Structure 1
Amino acid sequence: MAELQNIAGLKELQAALKELPDRIAKNVLRGSVNAGASVITNEVQTRAPVYTGEVSQGHPPPGTLKRAVYQKQIRELSGQLKQTFYVGVRKGKQYQKQGKKGNLSQDAWYAKFVEFGTSKMAARPFMRPAFEAKKSEAVEAIKAYLEKRIPEEVAKLKVYK
């Protein structure tokens, strides 16, 4: 088995992951990319603007944009040596009154108007600045997760052999 304590770059990481059984390598990599995506997701939620004015009937309540931010693994683009996560905003439908308590939708269909602006509204970007501000911290979160998990999984393998 390759020496897993001395992982310095992507080539060394790829070699270390190839040494682990497929299922374990995939799970470790998925967890690490999830940790990095969580850093970005939290920053996007922090930066998402909240409307502070009077809300007219039929419009979403303040904070809907923050609640609509999510992250998701894209299984079709993921494998043993590659994991893909998407950080985005739920935007399926326009806002409707729902349920007994009234407006419960978490869709922020208007997110692109806030991010890029319109002819009548200036842009208030929150997605791109969040990514730019936290991308190095996300990489550090990925590295920290890998540094913790790979030795744990190697130790488990040694116990079972």
Structure 2
Amino acid sequence: MANIELTGVDEILNKLQEIGANVGRLENKALKNAAEPVLEDSKANVPVRTGKLKKGLKITNVKKKEEIKYILVGVDKGDNSEIFYGKFIEFGTSKRSAHPFLQPAYEKNKNTIKEIIAETLKEGLK
């Protein structure tokens, strides 16, 4: 019977555990990084009257629903109840035509979002 001795297995197992522990933080970082261009373009295109809506545009913390992580760009309802009208500007009303600023920012940056997520994950897993 042949004897086989493996060296370095403990080191590999420790490295895998270390990577596993950091994956959640890395995913969160990738999502936040990817949301930045959407936020910037949204702020660049939002109509400004008082500046409150532009100032109120934010990136939320990472959320999780049914094992899917996501992030939102827009107005946080809790912090900025006085700028609830952002949805009326984005989608319009019966008396006011829509002036979208969030959807076009997302559409413009769809490919960039994917690239930023991939790049952040690659860098973090090196």
The answer to whether the superposition gives a TM-score over 0.5 is yes
1:9-48 → structure 2 map (5 Å cutoff): 21-48=19-46
Displacement of 1:91 in angstroms is 4.0
1:6-155 → structure 2 map (5 Å cutoff): 21-51=19-49, 62-77=50-65, 82-92=68-78, 107-151=82-126
- Deviation by residue 1:101-125 (Cα, 9 ceiling, x = unmatched): xxxx684111111111112211111
Displacement of 1:92 in angstroms is 4.8
TM-score (norm 2): 0.74
| Contact kept in structure 1, 2:28 and 2:62, CA below 8 Å | no
Going from structure 1 to structure 2, the CA distance change for 1:91 and 1:37 (only over 3 Å counts) comes to same
Measure the CA separation in 1 of the matches of 2:18 and 2:41.
Answer: 33
Measure the CA separation in 2 of the matches of 1:119 and 1:88.
Answer: 22
Measure the CA separation in 2 of the matches of 1:28 and 1:130.
Answer: 24
What SS does the aligned partner of 2:100 have? coil
Aligned-residue RMSD, C-alpha: 2.5
Going from structure 1 to structure 2, the CA distance change for 1:28 and 1:92 (only over 3 Å counts) comes to closer
Larger Rg belongs to: 2
- Deviation by residue 1:8-53 (Cα, 9 ceiling, x = unmatched): xxxxxxxxxx8764321111111111111122122211111112xx
Say which structure is richer in helix: 2
Partner of 1:102: none
Letter in 2 for 1:85: I
| Contact kept in structure 1, 2:31 and 2:62, CA below 8 Å | no
Matched residue count: 111
